[in-house]
Structure 1
Amino acid sequence: MSPLPEFNMAESSFNWSKSDNGMPSPTNDVEKGSYGDYAHLNNDTVQSYTWDQVTVTVKDRETKQPKKILDNVSGYVQAGEIIALMGPSGSGKTTMLNVLSGRDATSNAHVEKSLRVNGKTISYQNFRKISSFVEQEDALLGALTVEETLYFSARLALPRNIPKAERIARIEGLISSFGLRRQARDLIGTPIRKGISGGQKRRVSVASQLITSPKILFLDEPTSGLDSAASHEVMSFIRDVAKNNRLLVIASIHQPSTSTFELFDKLLLLSQGRTVYNGLVSGVTQYFADLGYPTPMYTNPAEFIIDMVNTDFSQNHDEAQRRLAHLQDSWTKSEHQQAIDQKISEISSQQSSREAVQAQTEANPLMVPFTLVHRSLIKAYRDVIAYGIRIAMYVCLAILMGTVWLRLAPSQENIQSFTNAIVFGAAFLSFMSVAYIPSFLEDRSLFIKERANGLYGPISFMISNFITGAPFLFIITILFSVISYWLSNFNPTGGSFWSWVLFLFLDLLAAESLVVLIASAAPVFVVALAVTAFANGLWMSVGGFMVPPKNLNDFWRYWAHYSDYQSWVFQGMMVGEFKDRTYSCGSGCRCMYPSPLEQQCKIAGSAVLEQYGYGTDRRGMWVGILIGIIAGYRLIGLAILYMKKK
């Protein structure tokens, strides 16, 4: 499979040289950025982004009174600058990043804010076109290469009027800008196949969000999970891209090393929702020294100031609280705060006469599902966990079943064995659909990230997921059936065999759809595994084999049995085996089931079906019910995806 036939990374139209700091820099004539010309997105440039008196209020869980988790936070960032949002746990930096990026601040919160781009308020739709958000966790498909990850980001994110040559140029430019040329064709990495390093994954995550040439980039803990060397490496690349391309970068960061801290231009330090410092990183130590809190020698200034505003682990909590109140009040009354307010006012007074961005042509919505299917097929082809291991597992189960129920003779002593084999073939195979949970959770994580950035919605995701899975499930069905059906000596007619294939295929489709529903509602592996296993155990109990449907009590029969996809599969397979087949009664001609063929020392298969209360002319209805159940699972899963943002 050659997933990227459109371009060759070796044939780059960009020439690269080393800048003074050792990082690659563009030497071609595209001065607006190494990853594409912004003119295709809008005709204006973003010079500034301001926020004024941002306040977020929630109801306190204990007192039930209003509680401010952000209180009158103001600031600004200009083109080419990187500002760090810092503070101890619970300081409000994550909420602040959400507010600034246009996301929901937190649940059930009242938000007061004034956000302006180039001094002017713009619509959320246009703001999303000029901004991008990089999540804390790397939501990447491990089975794709670095190059393919950026390729599909471009396919999903870029408007359809962007020429193909420019798409290629942006991918090549980003790969070079982030020092990923050697890793371009390396896999991101799966649990089985080793891929690129953690720092390189972070660079890929950032690069994939820069494919649209955003003007404002939000980073949620970009160095989370990385050691100090990898953290510095990642932020160095981000800093160079921001400077070279005049990006505005706002990043929440926990406690960077000294070298990483110095890569930021500005710092917004929060504690208990209030500003403690907002200004140049180079001036923070002097500011605290002037207040009587000098940074000790050989101490990381980032670590020192975080400790200064953190009251959670202080031995003397009252003293720490007084110190924090002093720092917060000092900032509110400082000349620095007044200068920021004046600067925000100046930017607002110089606002453009039009919105900061022009409307752009959207990506073709009809192409999104096809792009997702293409990407998923590559993943399924390479990631053995997704379907490779499952195919091998089902083949082994087919051999097991075929050799355990080997060449059963059509006699009455084997009627129960045939029935047991049908239950094993239908119920146990659907139970093994739990193996799909890890793969779906990976896909869902990527969907959550891409949906938050406005690339596509739940409908495209659900359609592509179904289209990708159906062919593989059909392959599994054929492989299992060809081996097990004939080895076990089920009804040896073509019609019965294809009836078995049809119902087993619908069985696997329903089982996988159930996994999608449950994992969408409970996107935690252990929880999804437990709930799926319980659901399949329930379906096996009420499916009609353990207790015939006519003997089930009304409670289980009317809500569980009739909604159980396994019960309809069991009926379909039973009819396929017994409808047109006869079984010998053995020596003494003592037939276990009364039938019109008893005088011939035979049992008509229809007599077996009568014991279960199954008709022989309802297979079309059962197929329709199964399709309805599959559609129902998918629609409920779709509704859950719409309701859940994370």
Structure 2
Amino acid sequence: MPLCSVAPKPENDGAELESGLPKKLETFDTACLAYPAQNNSQSFLQRTLFPISLKFKEIVYKVNNERKATCFGGTSNTKEKVILNGITGTVSPGEILAMLGPSGSGKTTLLTALGGRLSGNLSGKITYNGQPFSGSIRRRTGFVAQDDVLYPHLSVFETLLFTALLRLPKSLTREAKVQHVEHVIAELGLTRCRNSMIGGPLFRGISGGEKKRVSIGQEMLINPSLLLLDEPTSGLDSTTAQRIMNTVKGLASGGRTVITTIHQPSSRLYHMFDKVVLLSEGCPIYYGLASTALQYFSSIGFSTSIIVNPADLLLDLANGIGPDFQQAANHSDNIRQDPASVREILVSAYDKNISTRLKTELCSSDVIIYNYNKENSARDDLKFEKWCTTWWYQFHVLLLRGLRERRFEAFNRLRTFQVVSVAILGGLLWWQTPPSHIDDRIAMLSFFSVFWGFYPLYNAVFTFPQERNMLKKERSSGMYRLSSYYLARTIGDLPLELALPTTFTFIFYWMGGLKPDPATFIFSLLIVLLSVLVSQSLGLAFGAILMDVKQAATLASVTTLVFLIAGGYYVRQIPPFMVWLKYLSFSYYCYKLLLGIQYDENDYYECAYGVYCRVSDHPAIKSVGLDNLWMGISIMVLMMVGYRTGSINQKKPRVLADGLEEVSEWIKIKQVHIIKKRGALEEKNRVKLVKDKPAQDKPTLMDLLWMMWKMKKKKKCGGRNLDHTLKVIKPAEALNDKEHKVQPCLKTFQRLQLCVQRINLHKRLYISRAEKKQQRRMSILESVCARAESKTERCTIQSSASHKIAHFVAVGVQAGSVPKCELMHWPKA
């Protein structure tokens, strides 16, 4: 073959894979599977090993640089930065595609895009067996990030076991999942460190290579058909890197599609790759067989006179450093020393020799239709639900994992010493305070409310920001629901967070000489614990809203300062226009409740020698009052519920945004250009994804959620619900409800585009939720299409008391065998 041509597919790839037909799983060696042949687990894992041929064409990704402030307070506009620029390629089952390039060349960005995890201004076409990215592909994809995001206090076995319990389906028994974990540990060579802790920055655990193998093992548990690895050998020695790549090579030989980025591979590692994509500043300069890369660059004038590692030569070229030239006449020394000129030559050569042929091959293979025969119907009928396990099971596993992870964290010596020492020191300072020293007792109760009102807040602020990477990793893999994680996290913290304040109160209360009554002590303890829960809830909300440790800590400091001042002890007479601050402070309610438990309105204290005064007349107590205690408890409970609800709602949009991107990938919109010609409508369609639409025409997240909720309430899309449906999915200008007159459908193309886009979204949701009525809809749409062919432009909405018909330009892709037609008809009521 010519040196500049695209590398052909390996000979062992049969005609079935070329045509997109999945091979029988028995054709793959079961010894290469992550789980050997055993009982029901073997059946599941073999059925999930679904060969995936991945193709990507003209991938372009752009980001907007942040605007910089000017000297006069304005902002300077910046242009878009191109991260990926027209990258094309394909990889088949059993192959390893390596992405090479210097730092910042776009390797990780391209890998993230191929894994369906990249959002933003992404264009191009990525197909998996000829189909776009979907939930079933996500469940068959394993993604190993560059950084090993693992819980440090869990052992290797516990890490893999909890992953298996959450990611493997509920049809497998716990014993089968445990056995599967044992086989993965043995296959990855982790038996020696099976019971060793992962380790973290503060204490030593397993080695870096073992951590990387644990990360790979987490993805091997689901037996992925597509495995993506981001620099799996970074920071490892040559021998350890060789072992990891041997493992990856074994996975690929079992029928998996493997794509990896690698920074500086050795010569031995390079020869393990089947194909190579070489990137330079986001532009491809080579795609093809790894074994023919040197010959290709030699054919365009870039060769070396010494024997070097092929990867070293490729990286030098990607950095614009040209080796010795065979054709010195065509390449001067100035070009050799100018990196920009070298890159320009390489990009031009790629466009001339590789790009054209590659696009031709991809276009010729795109016309293949993927069909499955009856022999493979069992695997084709394997429906991937959104979640592998039930909500309760996820909550149980996450709660157990959280308790095991934090068993060394909550009761560490430093934290326990801090709480106990403060309690003892406070007890000594307020040692057996007599009832006559009411000011000292009030100060003691104020210290209770301040310390346990703000100490848990600062601890809770770090909860979500510290687990941000872990939550992002596991949620992107579809391991669990956000609600199950949040509830397990908060409930798992309760026994750990409430034990220390209980110890503190028990020591401080009796040493301080407060009211020696068991009932009073128990009520005081309950109020302190309630204050701890409210404070922790506020800290969780701050962390979830900002997701940044520094910003959350700053906000917490300002809030605690305001609550401290307005708590009722330091400032007793707050101006009327600022009095509302104290009602926002949970410290104020805690302080008031502690006073109400210790004192009654009819109690007296010795205010002078031989003189007794009413407790309720004391200035400090009078400013807060001793009444309406149950109202204070209710307000604190509402604060706790509100803060926790706010924290989960602040985390939800980030996760739902990922879900919106996934949904938008299967919602296709046709931009309709209406051209009036000879009294009829002509359509000129261009299929694009929703995320490629202009920002003003893109359905928002709230639109999607609102329509989903409406579909739960209204099972029908037309008929008697037509009037209500039109109000939901159309702009206000589309129908005049007050005047029942014939209105133009939409007067401008922008309004029409927005209207049909929302109608299509609503229609797709309706079709997907009413499969039993498929035949009835087909007959209706077929009759409408037949009538529409003989009609001229009927883009009007007719509204009357007895008859309502709406004709819209139909857009989108019909589900299944529903025919495509130009006009869409909603039957009358």
Counterpart position of 2:350? 331
Instruction: Give the direction of change, closer, same or farther, for the CA distance of 1:614–1:541 in structure 2 (3 Å limit).
Output: closer
Range moving further from structure 2, 619-628 or 229-238? 229-238
Range moving further from structure 2, 393-402 or 224-233? 224-233
1:541 matched to 2:546? The reply is: no
Counterpart position of 1:408? 433
Listed as ranges, the matches of 1:420-435 within 5 Å are: 420-433=443-456, 434-435=458-459
Displacement after TM superposition at 1:644 (Å): 3.4
Gaps of 5+ in 1: 1-28, 590-600
What is the aligned counterpart of 1:397 among 422, 425, 432?
422
Displacement after TM superposition at 1:487 (Å): 0.8
Distance in 1 between the 2:189 and 2:257 partners?
A: 21
Displacement after TM superposition at 1:175 (Å): 0.6
Q: Deviations over 1:68-100 (max 9, x none)?
A: 432321111122222222323443323212221
Displacement after TM superposition at 1:345 (Å): 4.4
Instruction: Give the direction of change, closer, same or farther, for the CA distance of 1:528–1:262 in structure 2 (3 Å limit).
Output: farther
Counterpart position of 1:319? 338
CA contact (8 A) 2:592 2:626 kept: no
Counterpart position of 2:262? 253
Instruction: Give the direction of change, closer, same or farther, for the CA distance of 1:525–1:262 in structure 2 (3 Å limit).
Output: farther
Counterpart position of 2:100? 86
Instruction: Give the direction of change, closer, same or farther, for the CA distance of 1:50–1:390 in structure 2 (3 Å limit).
Output: same
Listed as ranges, the matches of 1:79-158 within 5 Å are: 79-105=93-119, 107=120, 109=121, 111-118=122-129, 120-158=130-168
Counterpart position of 2:400? 374
Distance in 2 between the 1:583 and 1:468 partners?
A: 44
Counterpart position of 2:371? 353
Distance in 1 between the 2:415 and 2:238 partners?
A: 40
Distance in 2 between the 1:611 and 1:482 partners?
A: 24
Instruction: Give the direction of change, closer, same or farther, for the CA distance of 1:612–1:246 in structure 2 (3 Å limit).
Output: farther
- Corresponding residue SS for 2:111: helix
Distance in 2 between the 1:273 and 1:342 partners?
A: 22
- Corresponding residue SS for 2:435: coil
Distance in 2 between the 1:544 and 1:229 partners?
A: 66
Counterpart position of 2:53? 48
Distance in 2 between the 1:340 and 1:365 partners?
A: 46
Displacement after TM superposition at 1:387 (Å): 6.3
What is the aligned counterpart of 1:568 among 558, 568, 589?
589
Q: Deviations over 1:368-393 (max 9, x none)?
A: 12211110011122x23576643443
Distance in 1 between the 2:359 and 2:411 partners?
A: 54
Distance in 1 between the 2:48 and 2:188 partners?
A: 26
1:633 matched to 2:639? The reply is: no
1:578 matched to 2:578? The reply is: no
CA contact (8 A) 1:267 1:278 kept: yes
Computing the radius of gyration from Cα coordinates, the structure with the larger value is: 2
Instruction: Give the direction of change, closer, same or farther, for the CA distance of 1:557–1:587 in structure 2 (3 Å limit).
Output: closer
Distance in 1 between the 2:646 and 2:461 partners?
A: 17
Distance in 2 between the 1:266 and 1:514 partners?
A: 52
Counterpart position of 2:719? none
Distance in 2 between the 1:183 and 1:43 partners?
A: 29
Higher relative contact order (CA 8 A, sep 6+): 1
Range moving further from structure 2, 167-176 or 337-346? 337-346
1:605 matched to 2:609? The reply is: no
Counterpart position of 1:188? 198
What is the aligned counterpart of 1:279 among 274, 288, 296?
288
Range moving further from structure 2, 420-429 or 515-524? 515-524
Q: Deviations over 1:545-574 (max 9, x none)?
A: 2112xx22345432x322222121111112
Instruction: Give the direction of change, closer, same or farther, for the CA distance of 1:317–1:299 in structure 2 (3 Å limit).
Output: closer
How large is the Cα RMSD of the aligned pairs? Answer: 3.2
- Corresponding residue SS for 1:353: coil
Counterpart position of 1:13? none
Q: What amino acid maps onto 1:51 in structure 2?
A: F
Instruction: Give the direction of change, closer, same or farther, for the CA distance of 1:541–1:242 in structure 2 (3 Å limit).
Output: farther
CA contact (8 A) 1:35 1:173 kept: yes
Displacement after TM superposition at 1:219 (Å): 1.9
Distance in 2 between the 1:43 and 1:466 partners?
A: 35
- Corresponding residue SS for 2:54: strand
Distance in 2 between the 1:298 and 1:393 partners?
A: 64
Q: What amino acid maps onto 1:326 in structure 2?
A: I
- Corresponding residue SS for 1:585: strand
1:266 matched to 2:275? The reply is: yes
CA contact (8 A) 2:278 2:284 kept: yes
1:553 matched to 2:553? The reply is: no
Gaps of 5+ in 2: 1-28, 67-75, 323-333, 659-829
Instruction: Give the direction of change, closer, same or farther, for the CA distance of 1:537–1:56 in structure 2 (3 Å limit).
Output: same
CA contact (8 A) 1:419 1:574 kept: yes
Distance in 2 between the 1:532 and 1:229 partners?
A: 48
Counterpart position of 2:771? none
Displacement after TM superposition at 1:587 (Å): 6.0
Distance in 1 between the 2:106 and 2:234 partners?
A: 17
Displacement after TM superposition at 1:264 (Å): 2.9
Normalised by the length of structure 1, the TM-score is: 0.84
Instruction: Give the direction of change, closer, same or farther, for the CA distance of 1:510–1:137 in structure 2 (3 Å limit).
Output: farther
Distance in 1 between the 2:578 and 2:307 partners?
A: 71
Distance in 1 between the 2:106 and 2:275 partners?
A: 18
Distance in 1 between the 2:615 and 2:238 partners?
A: 72
Displacement after TM superposition at 1:588 (Å): 3.0
